[in-house]
Amino acid sequence: MPATGLNPRKAAIQDIASRTVRNSNGAVNGNGNSNGQHPTSEYFGINTFGARQMRARLPKEVYAKLVGAIRQGKKLDAEIAPTVAQVIKEWAISRGVTHFTHWFQPQTGLTAEKHDAFLSFDDKQQPMESFSGAQLIQSEPDASSFPSGGLRATWEARGYTAWNPASPVFIVESGNTRTLCIPSVFIGYNGEALDEMTPLLRSSDALSDKAIEMLELLGEKNVLRVYTTLGPEQEYFLIDRNHFALRPDLVMSGRTLVGAPPPRGQQLEDHYFGGIPERVQACIAEVEHELYKLGVPIVTRHNEVAPSQFEMAPMFEETDLSVDHNQLVMSVLRRVALRHGLQALLHEKPFAGINGSGKHCNWSMAITSDDSTLDGTNLLKPGKTPHQNVRFLVFLAAVLKGVHKHAGLLRAGIGTSGNEHRLGANEAPPAIISVFMGQMLTRVIEDIAAGKTSPQNAQQAMIKLGVAKLPEVEKDNTDRNRTSPFAFTGAKFEFRAVGASQSIAFPVMLLNATVAEALGDLITGLKAALKRTKSVDDAVLEVVRQAFKETGAVRFEGNNYSNDWVVEAEKRKLLNLRRTPEALAQLLMKDSRAVLTKLGILSKPEIESRFHIRLERYVKDMLIEMHTLEEIVDTMILPASFSYLASLTKSAADAKAAGVKPVPQLDAANAISELIQQLRTRRAALGKVSAKAEGMHDELEAQARLLTADGADRMADVRETSDALELVVSDDLWPLPKYREMLFPL
Determine how β-strand 115-117 pairs with β-strand 99-103.
Answer: antiparallel
437, 449, 678: which is closest to 544 by C-alpha?
449
Give residue-wise pLDDT tens across range 290-318.
999 999 999 999 999 899 999 999 999 99
Q: Using 50, 70 and 90 to split pLDDT, how confident is the model at 730? A: very high
Name which residue leads in pLDDT, 13 or 259.
259
Name which residue leads in pLDDT, 250 or 28.
250
208, 196, 131, 151: which is closest to 326 by C-alpha?
196
> Do 591 and 406 form a contact (C-beta atoms < 8 A)?
yes
Q: Say yes or no to pLDDT of 70 above 90.
A: no
Instruction: Identify the CATH assignment for 203-256+268-602 out of 3.90.1200.10, 3.30.590.10, 3.60.20.10, 3.40.50.300.
Output: 3.30.590.10
Class of domain 43-195: alpha beta
Strands (E), 70-222: 99-103, 115-117, 119-121, 127-129, 138-139, 159-163, 169-174, 177-188
Q: Beta-carbon neighbour count of residue 200 at 10 Å?
A: 29
Q: Give the mean pLDDT of 206-232.
A: 95
Name which residue leads in pLDDT, 173 or 664.
173
Q: Which residues pair with 232 in a beta bridge?
A: 361
Q: Using 50, 70 and 90 to split pLDDT, how confident is the model at 28? A: very low
Q: Find the helix or strand (DSSP H, E) in which 365 lies.
A: strand 359-369
pLDDT > 70 in the chain, percent: 90
Burial annotation 587-622 (CB, 10 A radius, 16+ → b, else e): beeeebbebbeebebbbeebbbbbbbbbbebbbebb
Q: What pLDDT score does 5 carry?
A: 62
- Start-end ranges of CATH 3.30.590.10 in the chain? 203-256+268-602
Q: Using 50, 70 and 90 to split pLDDT, how confident is the model at 466? A: low
> Rounded to 10 degrees, what is the CA torsion of 667, 714, 423, 312?
70
What are the C-alpha distances in Å from 459 to residues 444, 527, 540, 663?
A: 14, 20, 12, 86
Dihedral sign from CA coordinates of 215, 221, 225, 231: negative
pLDDT > 90 in the chain, percent: 62
412, 509, 606, 511: which is closest to 201 by C-alpha?
509
| Range with the poorest average pLDDT among 71-80, 138-147, 570-579, 705-714 | 71-80
- Start-end ranges of CATH 3.10.20.70 in the chain? 43-195
Name which residue leads in pLDDT, 657 or 505.
505
Determine how β-strand 309-314 pairs with β-strand 298-303.
Answer: antiparallel
Class of domain 617-743: mainly alpha
Dihedral sign from CA coordinates of 313, 317, 318, 323: negative
Q: Say yes or no to pLDDT of 684 above 70.
A: yes
Q: Using 50, 70 and 90 to split pLDDT, how confident is the model at 746? A: low
Q: What pLDDT score does 136 carry?
A: 83
Q: What pLDDT score does 23 carry?
A: 41
> Do 104 and 186 form a contact (C-beta atoms < 8 A)?
yes
352, 259, 240, 265: which is closest to 636 by C-alpha?
259
Q: Say yes or no to pLDDT of 30 above 50.
A: no
Name which residue leads in pLDDT, 193 or 480.
193
Q: Using 50, 70 and 90 to split pLDDT, how confident is the model at 465? A: low
HSE-CB of 532 using CA atoms within 13 angstroms: 12
Q: What pLDDT score does 462 carry?
A: 57
Q: What pLDDT score does 456 carry?
A: 55
In angstroms, the CA 47 to CA 43 distance is 9
Give residue-wise pLDDT tens across range 234-274.
999 999 999 999 999 999 999 999 999 998 877 777 778 78
Q: Which residues pair with 313 in a beta bridge?
A: 300
Strands (E), 371-436: 435-436
Q: Give the mean pLDDT of 265-285.
A: 84
| Range with the poorest average pLDDT among 65-79, 227-241, 421-435, 579-593 | 65-79
- Start-end ranges of CATH 1.20.120.1560 in the chain? 617-743
Determine how β-strand 127-129 pairs with β-strand 138-139.
Answer: unpaired
Q: Give the mean pLDDT of 455-473.
A: 54
What are the C-alpha distances in Å from 556 to residues 174, 397, 485, 543, 737?
A: 47, 15, 10, 22, 42
* Phi, psi for 689 (deg, rounded to 5): -70, -45
Q: Terminal CA-to-CA distance of the chain, rounded, Å?
A: 17
Give residue-wise pLDDT tens across range 413-422.
999 999 999 9
Q: Find the helix or strand (DSSP H, E) in which 310 lies.
A: strand 309-314
| Range with the poorest average pLDDT among 54-68, 368-382, 679-693, 725-739 | 54-68
pTM passes above 0.85: yes
Q: What pLDDT score does 479 carry?
A: 52
In angstroms, the CA 393 to CA 380 distance is 8
Q: Using 50, 70 and 90 to split pLDDT, how confident is the model at 370? A: confident
Q: Say yes or no to pLDDT of 375 above 60.
A: yes
> Do 635 and 735 form a contact (C-beta atoms < 8 A)?
no
| Range with the poorest average pLDDT among 221-230, 266-275, 659-668, 694-703 | 266-275
720, 737, 712, 742: which is closest to 636 by C-alpha?
737
Name which residue leads in pLDDT, 16 or 729.
729
